[in-house]
Amino acid sequence: MVPSTSPVHPVDPALQESIAFISNQFAIEGDFLHGEEIQSGHINSTYRASFETANGAIHRYILQRINEKVFRDPLAVMRNVECVTRHINWKVLRVKKDLGGQTLNLYPGRGGKSWVIGPNGGVWRCYNSIEGCVTYDIVENTRQAYQAARAFGSFQDLVSDLPASEIEETIPDFHHTRKRFERLMRVADADPHARAGTVAEELDFVGRREADINVVLDLLANHHIPCRITHNDTKINNVMIDADSDEAVCVIDLDTVMPGASLYDFGDLVRTATSPAAEDERDLSKVVMQMPMFEALVDGFLDAANDSLNDAETEHLAFSGKLITLETGIRFLTDFLEGDSYFKIHREGHNLDRCRTQFKLVAEIERQQGAMQKFVGKMRKGKR
């Protein structure tokens, strides 16, 4: 059985030492006790450090090294994260009049910046650990799906008044599906690792859906939908959910907060929250689009963001799930053909497995597209 919560792993003594060293560069109170690795992300390296204060209390902190192969300008990422966390904390304080809730905070590092350079190079940062919460790789019930969608809808609302000029595009063309499609076709032609022979079926699957590739890009280009500041990585394990109440407490992983379309954010929720199978599940019969989960996502997202979404955005909510799932499959397939240099892999063929899971889900969404579309229409009217 695949665990549905994100895994945490003990680390070897050398790594313990370097976690201790890095965390001691930050303004953290107390003495370092131990560190562990959090293995859920595919890009950055993430660790949790426990510290004990003089009165015996234990506090935990999240340390992350930014992957600079993916984020070519890690300091731009840090400027974005500083801007967004400050803005959200300000808003939460203004609206709720207290800071009692848990939000993400960066700890100052030695030298007065929000980051330090690690012993082996690299930009490291330190966040508070959001306590009493868990993250799920697979949603267990519709309540969690509703909460996650509401949290990302609220996030969009919280950052809606940040001037777009404050936010840098840290990965250009991140959701430019046309460019992602073309890159896949180029690497399939060049086939640098002689792997294209094994993926003819997958390439054909993508080719037959070329018409879908431009839909959201065209909506943006024609100003039918607005360009907003969006999270851009709304996968379900990027929401901290209260372990007792199942309520969403805050969203994490702010590295890809950039100008984008709200459809990208909703689409990735559909990709990661409607299937009961893991993102890399090999038994494709387990990959299904569960309608009740989709309904809970629409409900939660519209509860938080309905008033700000225009008609074209709402009309494409169901389609966005298909598009982002297709796009993510394209990205996994591209990385497989390029020799697995982008996403961390933990076994041979891992990116291909991930791609196949995505494409199975695309087919599932297509099968139920009519019902999904109908539900969105009904829901929108109800909430007006």
Q: Which residues contact Mg ion (rule: CB under 5 A)?
A: 233, 253
User: Which region among 41-49, 84-92, 131-139, 284-292 touches ligand GN1 (by CB under 6 A)?
Assistant: 41-49
3-class SS shares of the chain: helix, strand, coil, % to 5: 50, 15, 35
Q: Using CB distances below 5 to 8 A depending on partner kind, what does residue 42 bind out of ligand GN1, Mg ion, none?
A: ligand GN1
Regarding 328 and contact with ligand GN1 (CB under 6 A), the answer is: yes
Regarding 74 and contact with ligand GN1 (CB under 6 A), the answer is: no
User: Which region among 38-46, 82-90, 115-123, 143-151 touches ligand GN1 (by CB under 6 A)?
Assistant: 38-46
Judged by beta carbon, residue 51 or residue 319, the one nearer ligand GN1 is: 319
Regarding 125 and contact with ligand GN1 (CB under 6 A), the answer is: no
Regarding 42 and contact with ligand GN1 (CB under 6 A), the answer is: yes
- 172 CB-side CA count, 13 A: 3
Note the residue count of the chain: 384
Phi-psi region of 223 (alpha: psi -120 to 50; beta: other; left: phi over 0): left
User: Which region among 23-31, 36-44, 182-190, 288-296 touches ligand GN1 (by CB under 6 A)?
Assistant: 36-44
Q: Using CB distances below 5 to 8 A depending on partner kind, what does residue 279 bind out of ligand GN1, Mg ion, none?
A: ligand GN1
How many residues form the binding site for ligand GN1 (CB under 6 A)? 10
Regarding 256 and contact with ligand GN1 (CB under 6 A), the answer is: yes
Which residue is listed with tokens 């006790």? Answer: 33
Regarding 36 and contact with ligand GN1 (CB under 6 A), the answer is: no
Residues 6+ apart with CB under 8 A from 377: none
Q: What is the DSSP letter of 106?
A: B
Using CB positions, name the residue nearest to Mg ion. 253
Give min distance, CB of 272 to Mg ion, in A. Answer: 12
Using CA atoms, how far apart are residues 215 and 233, in angstroms rounded to an integer? 20
Which of 19, 43, 104, 257 binds ligand GN1 (CB under 6 A)? It is 43
Q: What are phi and psi of 181, to 5 degrees?
A: -65, -45
Q: Using CB distances below 5 to 8 A depending on partner kind, what does residue 314 bind out of Mg ion, ligand GN1, none?
A: none
Regarding 114 and contact with ligand GN1 (CB under 6 A), the answer is: no
Buried b / exposed e along 62-77 (16+ C-beta atoms within 10 A): bbbbbbeebbeebbeb
Q: Side by side, which strands form the sheet with 133-134? A: 133-134, 239-242, 248-251
Using CA atoms, how far apart are residues 182 and 176, in angstroms rounded to an integer? 10
Regarding 77 and contact with ligand GN1 (CB under 6 A), the answer is: no
Using CA atoms, how far apart are residues 46 and 66, in angstroms rounded to an integer? 9
Give me the residues that bind ligand GN1 (CB under 6 A), please: 41-43, 70, 233, 235, 253, 256, 279, 328
